[in-house]
Amino acid sequence: MNKPELLAPAGDLEKLKMAIVYGADAVYLGGEEFGLRKASKNFTLEDIEEGIRFAHKRNKKVYVTLNIIPHNEDLIGLDEYVSELEKIGVDGVIVADPGVFSVIRRVAPNMPIHLSTQASATNYETIRFWYDLGIRRIVVARELSLDEIKEIKKKLPKDLEIEAFVHGAMCISYSGRCLLSNYMAGRDANRGECAHPCRWKYNLVEEKRPGEYFPIYEDEKGTFIFNSKDLCMIKYIPELIEAGICSFKIEGRVKSQYYVATVIRAYRKAIDEFFRYKKNYVYKEEWLEEIKKASYRDFTTGFYFKKPTGDDQIYENSSYIRKYDFVGLVLDYDKKTKLATVEQRNRIFVGDEIEIFGPNKEFFTQNIEEMWNENGEKIEVAPHPQQIIKMKMKEPVEEWDIIRKARKD
């Protein structure tokens, strides 16, 4: 068995670097146009080029999303953009639309193209169609079970790669092909502007009984609008590999830097442990507990083992569960003085109990005994965003290590 690629979201350059440092084999990102995540900061061409240099120096890959479902005006400038991506060395592009595909083939015939989940590839004949056109990686629709993925792998050539989402937010609509946001908020999800109305709380009102609000829930006949739990497959690494999935995709380009580091680190550990021990591999509950220290909704296995039911949805609210805050990023460490230089990310106080973890170390806990500002003055609190402070560490730390604090609310 080949070790699967761990593919991380990168909403901006900082998140790209964090994902790679914390164990991603590749990242996917969006430029300022032609992608489906306008809510993330996204990348200028200069940012993409810097990200590629950072990744390639560490033998990692960068893929760019061009998965918009375009109208005529959305195609303006696509030729030039694809040409620029080719020049700066992008490792592949992610595409959903046949027209965008044809432009890339014309402008950059050697560019690797991955078929986006937005294309809703759910069967081996559809995938064979795209394979015959030259695509060698398919991001399969989220509506497929592991058994269906196995069948696709058996019926198609061995050089076809299957990429699948294994963690993150789930969409109500068929692999993201949603009209609800456009209808209710005037924001077209298929052109990168989803307002996520599936997360809103709804009641049903009958025309002749105004003011009477009936709750929306699921029964044996189905449901109306639903707010899905988050996908989490960290318990099932062996099953994912056995099914033939070669790239484990994490959702979350609009999620935080801390979220990316936490989730990627947990999946990295699980994958590496599987390939270290093979038949003697044992899943560790601590990996899931670490994931739960980033923001999350309750978890589901999506469509992998069965068709989702009401148990896979959330009807009470659309809020995330947040048990910890990201409060600092280590920039430097002096072994002699044991002082760490830290960039503050949330307010922290002398006396706070904190946890520190890194890409290659388990977390340790300590209390903040003293802090100093950039002028060397003692301070009791670091209240300013991205304030540079120093604090003593009871164990050695490194650049990129993260400091978190349990929330009291």
Sequence spans of domains, the chain: 5-174+227-314, 324-406
Alpha carbons 23 and 269: distance in angstroms, whole number: 9
Residue 212 has pLDDT above 70, yes or no: yes
What kind of fold does domain 324-406 have according to CATH?
Elongation Factor Tu (Ef-tu); domain 3 (2.40.30)
**187 versus 126: which is more confidently predicted?**
126
Residue 311: predicted pLDDT: 75
Least confident of 131-135, 229-233, 400-404: 229-233
Mean pLDDT, to the nearest integer, of 290-298? 92
**234 versus 316: which is more confidently predicted?**
234
Alpha carbons 284 and 107: distance in angstroms, whole number: 47
Residue 304 has pLDDT above 50, yes or no: yes
Residue 221: predicted pLDDT: 46
Residue 98: predicted pLDDT: 95
Residue 198: predicted pLDDT: 66
Residue 254: predicted pLDDT: 85
Residue 335 has pLDDT above 90, yes or no: yes
How many DSSP H helices and E strands does the chain contain? 10, 24
Q: Which two tokens stand for residue 218?
A: 């699921």
Q: How confident is the model at residue 405 (pLDDT cuts 50, 70, 90)?
A: very high
State the chain's mean pLDDT as an integer: 89
Residue 382 DSSP one-character state: E
Length of the chain (residues): 409
Q: Over the stretch 71-94, which tens digit does the pLDDT of each residue have?
A: 898 899 999 999 999 999 999 999
Q: How confident is the model at residue 224 (pLDDT cuts 50, 70, 90)?
A: very low
Mean pLDDT, to the nearest integer, of 104-120? 95
Q: Which two tokens stand for residue 248?
A: 């484990």
Predicted TM-score of the model (pTM): 0.87
**Beta strand spans in 213-282 (E):** 214-215, 227-228, 230-232, 245-250
Mean pLDDT, to the nearest integer, of 342-352? 96
Mean pLDDT, to the nearest integer, of 195-200? 67
Residue 205: predicted pLDDT: 76
Whether the CB-CB separation of 129 and 98 falls below 8 Å is answered with: no
Mean pLDDT, to the nearest integer, of 275-290? 96
Share of the chain above pLDDT 90, in %: 70
- Displacement of CA 8 from its chain's centroid (Å): 6
Give residues with Cβ within 8 angstroms of 51, minimum separation 6. Answer: 10, 13, 16, 17, 27, 29, 43, 62
Give residues with Cβ within 8 angstroms of 89, minimum separation 6. Answer: 49, 52, 56
What kind of fold does domain 5-174+227-314 have according to CATH?
TIM Barrel (3.20.20)
Residue 15: CB atoms within 10 A of its CB come to 27
Give residues with Cβ within 8 angstroms of 115, minimum separation 6. Answer: 94, 95, 96, 121, 127, 130, 135, 137, 138, 139
Q: Over the stretch 163-174, which tens digit does the pLDDT of each residue have?
A: 999 999 876 655
Q: How confident is the model at residue 203 (pLDDT cuts 50, 70, 90)?
A: low
Q: Over the stretch 7-43, which tens digit does the pLDDT of each residue have?
A: 999 999 999 999 999 999 999 999 887 765 555 467 9
